[in-house]
Amino acid sequence: MVDPTHPRHTANHRPTVSFELMPPRRPDAAPNFWETARRLVAVQPDFVSVTYGAGGGDRATARQVVATLLAGTPVLPIAHLTCVGASREDVSEVIDDFLEAGVRAFLALRGDPPKDQPDWRPPVDGVHSADELVRLLREVESARAAADPSSALRGAAHPLSIAVATFPDGNPAAGTTRAQEVQRLLAKQSAGASFAITQLFYEADSYIQFVAEARAAGVTIPILAGLLPTTEPRRLRRVEELTGVVAPPDLLDALDALPDAEAQHEYGIARSVELARAVLDAGAPGLHVYTFNKHRPALDLLAGIGLLERTEQPASVLTPGAV
């Protein structure tokens, strides 16, 4: 299972490397998606997380992607799991389905309420927070083990690993401050979280100061640095709309002033490499790259900091089937 504090990382000062993939929403996007997945899996990351839409539109595809990664690669898939708008019973069924399929790692997220429904209210019998979701994951796993001794044995051999998200500059969507996010992370840890992955950030101090405050508050789980390669100004602006995380004006101005996409790529990778080195030098146990299903920026970022030394596996290892 995922353990960013495993001796193979700490003893050799080798940080973990991981990627986020977003399942294709249209059939015509599938070929490019699987090409990206092959390229990323080929460098043997520690895990690949697979997003899982809060609205439910891409959930079946997400499950197929996770199943394909489980069956066709040695790389651990982490299944995103959201709970917003769903009943506790429904979420429990989804968890049970994933566990039955052999999934042993999750990223537990509350998810975002629908923006086009101002009067929306969560269901009374719902799972209302990420720490509740972490507890529910542990409860469903325990119930399966109690009902099926063979499940208990499999669980002992492959313990459940639960990641959670955290927001080093506060969460604009939730209106929380950094101090409040530290307390939320502490609650997620108490609920049974194994490690955390940060939302993207643009300044190393955001990560460094957050980790320092979290450790002072009693957070002991590993906190991986989530990074977005800053190669496309349009994407940075779109991410700002989606997350509320503001891209530095000087970065956007510099990218906008460049003559073409290739120049933007080179400049953005250089900035991203500088940021990655800074957080690794500060003790980050690993990097989680938000790829937006583009392999070149992710791999160029890792190459820039010397983390592509692993022997590559054949790109044909994936057989996506019907996805």
Asked if residues 130 and 165 have their Cβ atoms less than 8 Å apart, the reply is yes
Task: List the domain range (segments joined by +) for residue 247.
Answer: 7-317
Count the neighbouring beta carbons within 10 Å of the beta carbon of residue 319.
11
**Is 323 among the domain residues?**
no
**Is 272 among the domain residues?**
yes
Q: Cα dist. 29→24, 108, 318 in Å?
A: 6, 26, 16
**Is 100 among the domain residues?**
yes
Q: Name the pTM for this structure.
A: 0.90
For residue 251, give the CATH number of its domain: 3.20.20.220
First to last CA, the chain: 26
Q: Cα dist. 68→90, 97, 115, 145, 219 in Å?
A: 24, 15, 32, 25, 34
**Is 322 among the domain residues?**
no
Active site residues: 20
Rounded (10°) CA dihedral 225, 228, 229, 230: -120
Number of domains in the chain: 1
Can you give the pLDDT of all 323 residues of the chain as single tens digits?
445 444 334 445 689 999 999 999 888 999 999 999 999 999 999 999 999 864 455 778 899 999 999 999 999 999 999 988 788 999 999 999 999 999 999 999 988 766 666 666 667 788 889 999 999 999 999 998 888 887 777 767 788 999 999 999 999 888 899 999 999 999 999 999 999 999 999 999 999 999 999 999 999 999 999 999 999 999 999 999 989 999 999 999 999 999 999 999 999 999 999 999 999 999 999 999 999 999 999 999 999 999 986 545 544 456 555 45
Q: Give me the helices (H) in the chain, please.
A: 7-10, 30-42, 59-72, 88-100, 130-147, 149-157, 178-191, 204-217, 233-243, 249-256, 261-281, 295-304
Task: Give the chain's radius of gyration (CA, Å).
Answer: 19
Q: Residue 60 is which amino acid?
A: A
Asked if residues 193 and 134 have their Cβ atoms less than 8 Å apart, the reply is yes
**Is 2 among the domain residues?**
no
Count the neighbouring beta carbons within 10 Å of the beta carbon of residue 42.
21
- The label of the residue with tokens 């325990």 reads 142
Transcribe 253-283 into DSSP letters: HHHHTSSSHHHHHHHHHHHHHHHHHHHHHTT
